[in-house]
C-alpha cells in the first residue's frame, strides 16, 4: 500500500446524488479494524441511504454493505484478527447485545444494530472502518468482486432457503430472476430441491435453465399458482421480486403447510385470501440476512458448490452510474465497485 494520508470515498451529496471526495485516513477506535476495500456490491437497499438528504450537522454518509477487503490496522481490544487478513462486511455489522432480541440470542433482529452504509460509513470507498465483531472471514481464493454480493444477496437467499423447512427433492420455487433470484435458483438446485424459477417473459427461460432451474414458469403466459399445484404444490416459494401483487398470486400454489418466504420488500401490499392460508395451513414469513457465522457458511457453500453471482464491475469513479443502473434494474445482475487490488490472494 502507499503512504497516502487520504482516501477516496463516494458520499451522498444530495438525494440520489453521489460525490467522490478525499478524506483523511482514520484510525480504528476500540474494537474496530480499518479495511482497505477491494470490492463493494451495489445493492437496492443502498437507496435507503442514497435517496436520503445528507445530514446538516455531520459528514455525508458513504453507502455500501457488500464489502470485501483486507485488514490494514487493528484498534485496541481487537483479538483473533490480523493485519493482511481477507475479510468481508455485510448489512448487519454489529449488535447492541442488550436489547431483548440480543439477550435471547437473536442478534439478527437486534433493535439497535450497526448497519453498514446506513448507521456507519460503508464500502463505496477505498478504506472503511468496521466493528471487529461484524467481520466475516473471506477465503483468499474467492474473487473479491464475486464474493461481495454473496455477503448480502447470497446470504439472504441461502439462509432463507436452508431454514425454510424444505427437504431434498421437495418442490422449491423462486419468484424473480434478478439480483437475488439468480443466486437463489443456484442455491436451490445445489441444495437438492426440485427448482422452479418464476419470472415474466419467455426470454428468461434459457437463463433459468442455465442457472439450474428444472422448470421455468412464465408468469405472463401461465397461471403460476395452477402450474405449481400441478406439480403437487411448492413446499417453499422464495419471493425475490419486489411485487406484492405477484407474491400474493403465488400463495394458492403452495403445498399444504407450504411457506411463502419474503426476502424482497415490495412497495405495494401483499393482499392474500385467508382461505388459502387456513385451508392447507400455509404461511407467509419474512427472512432477514443472517449472522457473521451464517455469512461464512454462505461463502463456504458457494465455494464448495460453485455458486457465483453474475456481475458487472465499475471503478469507484463510476459509483453514480453503477447506482443508477442498479436502480433501473439495468445490471445483469449485480453491480460491483472495484477498488485497490482485486487480485485473488493479493496481500496488502
What's the pLDDT tens digit per position in 331-341? 999 999 999 75
Quick one: average pLDDT of 236-245? Answer: 97
Average pLDDT, the chain: 95
Residue 1 has pLDDT above 60, yes or no: no
Q: How confident is the model at residue 3 (pLDDT cuts 50, 70, 90)?
A: low
Q: How confident is the model at residue 347 (pLDDT cuts 50, 70, 90)?
A: very low
DSSP string for 256-322: EEEEEEE-S--SS-----HHHHHTTT-EEEE-----HHHHHHHHHHHHHHT----EEEEEGGGHHHH
pLDDT at residue 57, rounded to an integer:
76
Q: How confident is the model at residue 345 (pLDDT cuts 50, 70, 90)?
A: very low
What's the pLDDT tens digit per position in 129-147? 999 999 999 999 999 999 9
DSSP string for 35-77: EEEEEEEE-GGGHHHHTSPPPTTSPPPP---EEEEEEEEE-TT
What's the pLDDT tens digit per position in 5-58? 999 999 999 999 999 999 999 999 999 999 999 999 999 999 999 999 888 778
Fold match between domain 6-152+290-338 and domain 154-286: no
What's the pLDDT tens digit per position in 295-344? 999 999 999 999 999 999 999 999 999 999 999 999 999 999 999 754 44
Ranges of each domain in the chain? 6-152+290-338, 154-286
CA distances 122 to 12, 271, 291, Å, are 11, 35, 18
Domain 6-152+290-338 in this protein, CATH class: alpha beta
Instruction: Let me know: does 289 contact 156? Beta carbons within 8 Å.
Output: yes
What's the pLDDT tens digit per position in 155-209? 999 999 999 999 999 999 999 999 999 999 999 999 999 999 999 999 999 999 9
At the second CATH level, the architecture of 154-286 is 3-Layer(aba) Sandwich (3.40)
Amino acid at each position: 500500500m502507499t503512504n497516502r494520508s487520504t482516501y477516496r470515498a463516494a458520499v451522498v451529496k444530495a438525494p440520489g446524488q453521489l460525490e467522490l471526495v478525499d478524506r483523511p485516513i482514520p484510525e480504528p477506535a476500540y474494537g474496530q479494524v480499518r479495511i482497505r476495500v477491494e470490492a463493494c456490491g451495489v445493492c437496492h437497499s443502498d437507496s435507503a441511504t442514497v435517496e436520503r438528504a445528507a445530514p446538516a450537522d455531520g459528514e455525508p454518509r458513504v453507502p455500501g454493505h457488500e464489502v470485501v477487503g483486507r485488514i490494514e490496522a487493528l484498534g485496541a481490544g481487537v483479538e483473533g484478527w490480523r493485519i493482511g487478513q481477507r475479510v468481508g462486511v455485510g448489512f448487519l455489522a454489529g449488535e447492541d447485545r442488550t436489547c431483548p432480541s440480543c439477550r435471547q440470542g437473536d442478534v439478527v433482529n437486534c433493535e439497535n444494530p450497526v448497519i453498514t452504509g446506513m448507521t456507519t460509513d460503508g464500502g463505496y470507498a477505498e478504506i472503511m472502518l468496521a466493528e471487529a465483531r461484524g467481520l466475516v472471514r473471506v477465503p483468499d481464493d474467492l474473487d473479491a468482486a464475486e464474493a461481495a454480493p454473496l455477503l448480502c444477496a447470497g446470504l439472504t437467499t441461502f439462509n432463507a432457503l436452508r431454514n425454510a423447512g424444505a427437504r431434498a427433492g421437495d418442490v422449491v420455487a423462486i419468484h424473480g430472476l434478478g439480483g437475488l433470484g439468480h443466486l437463489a435458483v443456484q442455491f436451490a438446485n445445489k441444495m437438492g430441491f426440485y427448482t422452479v424459477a418464476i419470472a415474466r417473459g419467455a426470454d428468461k427461460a434459457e437463463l433459468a435453465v442455465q442457472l439450474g432451474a428444472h422448470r421455468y414458469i412464465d408468469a405472463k403466459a401461465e397461471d403460476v399458482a395452477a402450474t405449481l399445484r400441478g406439480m403437487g404444490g411448492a413446499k417453499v416459494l422464495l419471493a425475490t421480486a419486489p411485487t406484492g401483487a405477484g407474491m400474493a398470486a403465488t400463495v394458492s400454489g403452495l403445498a399444504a403447510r407450504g411457506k411463502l418466504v419474503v426476502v424482497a420488500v415490495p412497495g405495494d401490499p401483499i393482499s392474500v385470501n385467508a382461505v388459502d392460508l387456513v385451508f392447507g395451513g400455509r404461511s407467509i414469513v419474512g427472512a432477514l440476512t443472517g449472522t457473521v457465522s451464517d455469512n461464512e457458511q454462505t461463502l463456504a457453500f458457494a465455494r464448495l458448490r460453485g455458486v457465483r453471482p453474475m456481475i458487472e464491475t465499475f471503478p469507484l469513479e463510476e459509483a453514480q452510474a453503477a447506482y443508477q443502473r442498479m436502480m433501473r434494474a439495468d445490471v445483469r445482475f449485480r453491480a460491483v465497485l472495484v477498488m485497490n487490488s482485486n487480485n485473488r490472494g493479493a496481500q496488502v
